[in-house]
Chain A
């Protein structure tokens, strides 16, 4: 675990499109999932004899269920607009990491088995048989895509590469080729309640310790309530917020905001995870099972509001999918959904992002800050892909970009944006999203971070930036690990609510 040897790309002022290196990352294969986790998830753990039939069968089902995937298979005209938009291609130079080429690994199989020309004259239309070699390439390269959807922004047809990667992973799982990292997490969250596998008593002990820390630090008894029935707000946050640095600093920040607002709130040991890796693997049932824990906890505790902490893909799932997955927003019409609809307070968006909550309080003048407490920091903000390109905050278009920045400006004096083509809708992934945040993929994580590191380096050198503010647990963990490879101090990384927590006045 001391880490494999590889060459870290050199920083430069602009991220240049590299000359392609065939097979540059063909050796990067994430560890395979073991029998225990795969069978819990209802998948085989090794290739069955009839793997090809199973794979094509599942592919047919996916194409049937998700009309979008079929459209994306058909619509590409190979214009090449996506080729230089992927951080993994820019960082690795492997041509299979050009989004169009990564998609082609599936598209050529699609043509062969699901289109008429491909069935009768495959050589004319670039259709190819599904072979074990192709399947291996799917595994390698569908785990070198973080489903960040930057390429989709530039695609004239709006082809969503992430959906193709998700479909690829689902088909792979279906024939027993699962990824250890995601597979183990999907089991832990369903068995124990969070991705870490943090049991209730450990969570309780951790929260008590944090309450002690805050009181020792501020003299104010800020609480972190757990499983409080009848609380108004249920906070669902990534479990890394309980466990890791710098994540925990944001948890402290949320608690201080709730305290200052005089809010009645609680965490839940049952729903102690906002993250939902079911999204990454493109399995609707798993994603739904994981989301259901939150609905169940909300019903049991009788809360009126659900707020989501700093987690990128969790916010996508909450904002875009909870309504149809679990009836938390609108749409579900089963008795439990109806009960939840009646229970939740219609005056607020359900769910709400913690940044929306905090910004609303700032606008109302409820929160007071001593901005000078953040004066040792020159801050920039990294837009996390799932928040930036798959969701929104507030009532105005682009609220997901303005609200976090407004919060930072309200609690600190020094803020500098990175170059326009690397933020907002065009933001570069941290390099560790979509189920890639695992040590066995450290090489692709480091290389994939290159475009973001170049943009960050420019504001470090030019504007004296020394703090990279984030609203995603994956981004926090990824940058903490990757920054030192590029010569930066890992302590430059932190959360937006860490900044809030630093400056907020408590009484």
Chain B
């Protein structure tokens, strides 16, 4: 598996650049992965990323898109609680791109 180096330490990622070990994740790694994805992280991005990690810790899976949009509405305001806004933040698709930056495994299936 390929390795990436962030702040002097190296970490394993899979073929698509997803972090192999969830526990390796740090804010710096999140920033590195975002740069790789050409996503410029703002506070709104971090709200999503933090929520993803909290949810994953509790349920061992990324939240469903509906669960995520509701959480975003609560934190960033009702006008932002929709799929369209999430795509603005993460253009390659909130489920996959946001998970990648948050260090979560890639969701699989018919999605």
Task: List residues of chain A with CB under 8 Å of any chain B CB.
Answer: 1-3, 31, 180-181, 184-185, 188, 194-199, 201-202, 205-206, 209-210, 213, 238-240, 242-245, 247-248, 275, 311, 437, 439-440, 473-474, 476-477, 481, 490-491
Interface centre among A198, A199, A205, A244 (most CB of B within 10 A): A244
- Contact residues of B with A, CB < 8 Å? 15-17, 36-38, 59-61, 63-67, 70, 83-84, 87, 92-93, 95-97, 100, 107-111
Once bound together, how far apart are the Cα atoms of A104 and B101, in whole Å?
Answer: 43
B61: contacting residue among A1, A2, A199, A439, CB under 8 A: A199
Query: Hey, which chain B residues are within 8 Å of A275, CB to CB?
Result: 109-110
On whether the beta carbons of B15 and A440 are closer than 8 Å, the reply is: yes
Q: Which residue of B lies closest to A205 (CB)?
A: B59
Known interface pairs A181-B108, A473-B110, A474-B110; A1-B66 also in contact (CB < 8 Å)? no
**Alpha-carbon separation in the docked complex, A242 to B96 (Å):** 16
On whether A202 and B60 interact (CB within 8 A), knowing A1-B100, A209-B67, the answer reads: yes
Cβ-neighbour of A213 out of B66, B95, B108 (below 8 A): B66
Q: How far, in angstroms, from A476 to B111 measured CA to CA in the complex?
A: 8
B38 touches A197 (CB 8 A): no
Q: Which of B66, B87, B109 sits near A206, CB closer than 8 Å? A: B66
Q: Say which residue of A3, A195, A201, A490 sits within 8 Å of B110 (CB atoms).
A: A195
Residue contact A243 to B100, C-beta cutoff 8 Å: no
Contact at A185–B108, with CB atoms within 8 Å?
yes
A238 CB contact (under 8 Å) in B59, B100, B107, B110: B110
Looking at the assembled complex, report how far the CB atom of B50 sits from the nearest CB atom of chain A, in whole angstroms. 18
Which B residue's beta carbon lies closest to that of A244? B111
B110 touches A437 (CB 8 A): yes
Q: Which 8 A-B pairs have the closest CB atoms?
A: A195-B109, A473-B110, A202-B59, A240-B110, A196-B109, A243-B64, A244-B111, A206-B64
A237 to B40, CA, bound (A): 37
Q: Which residues of B contact A31 (CB under 8 A)?
A: 15-16
Q: Once the chains are docked, how many angstroms separate the CA of A3 from the CA of B95?
A: 15
- For the complex with contacts A206-B63, A477-B111, 14 further pairs of A-B residues with Cβ separation under 8 Å are A1-B16, A2-B38, A196-B109, A198-B61, A202-B63, A206-B67, A209-B66, A210-B66, A242-B64, A243-B107, A244-B65, A311-B110, A477-B110, A481-B93
> Contact between A243 and B37 (Cβ–Cβ < 8 Å)?
no
Determine whether the beta carbon of A199 is less than 8 Å from that of B109. no
CA distance A197 to B63 in the complex (A): 12
- Cα of A1 to Cα of B93 in the assembled complex, Å: 10
A1 contacts B110, CB within 8 Å?
A: no
Give CA–CA (A197, B106) in the complex, Å: 11
From B60, B64, B84, A244 is in contact (CB under 8 Å) with: B64
Contact at A199–B60, with CB atoms within 8 Å?
A: yes
- A201–B59 CB distance below 8 A: yes
From B87, B92, B110, give the contact of A2 (CB < 8 A): B92
With A197-B61, A243-B64 known as contacts, the answer to whether A1 contacts B108 (CB < 8 A) is: no
Chain B residues near A474 (CB-CB < 8 A) = 110
Find chain A residues with CB under 8 A from B97 CB. Answer: 1
CB distance from A329 to the nearest CB of B (A): 24
B31 to chain A, nearest CB (A): 16
Partner of B37 from the list A2, A181, A184 (CB cut-off 8 Å) is A2
Are the C-beta atoms of B65 and A243 separated by less than 8 Å? yes
What are the residues of chain B within 8 A of A196 when measuring CB–CB? 61, 107-109, 111
> Is the CB–CB distance between B66 and A205 below 8 Å?
no
Nearest CB in chain B: distance from A186 CB, A: 10
In whole Å, how far is B12's beta carbon from the nearest beta carbon of chain A? 12
**Residue in A209, A238, A439 whose beta carbon sits within 8 Å of that of B96 in the complex:** A439
Residue on B nearest A180 in the bound complex, by CB: B15
Closest-by-CB residue of A relative to B82 is A245
> In whole angstroms, how far apart are the Cα atoms of A284 and B15 in the complex?
29
Contacting residues, chain B, for A247 (C-beta < 8 A): 110-111
Query: Shortest beta-carbon distance, B92 to chain A, in Å?
Result: 6
Query: Chain A nearest CB: distance from B29 CB in Å?
Result: 15
Q: A477 CA to B96 CA in the complex, in Å?
A: 12
Measured in the bound complex, the distance between the Cα atoms of B16 and A437 in whole Å is 15
A1 in contact with B92 (CB, 8 Å) = yes
In angstroms, Cα B100 to Cα A3, docked, is 14
Chain A nearest CB, measured from B14 CB (Å): 8
Find the B residue at minimum CB distance from A252: B66
Would you give the shortest CB distance from B27 to chain A, in whole angstroms? 20
What are the residues of chain A within 8 A of B108 when measuring CB–CB?
Answer: 181, 184-185, 188, 195-197
Sample 20 A-B pairs with CB under 8 A, ordered by A number.
Answer: A2-B36, A184-B108, A185-B108, A188-B108, A196-B109, A197-B109, A198-B61, A202-B59, A202-B60, A205-B59, A206-B63, A206-B67, A209-B64, A209-B67, A210-B66, A244-B65, A473-B109, A473-B111, A476-B110, A477-B110
Q: How far is the CB of B77 from chain A (nearest CB, A)?
A: 17
Q: In the complex, what's the smallest C-beta–C-beta distance from B107 to chain A, in angstroms? A: 6
- CB contact between B95 and one of A195, A206, A244, A476 (< 8 Å): that residue: A244
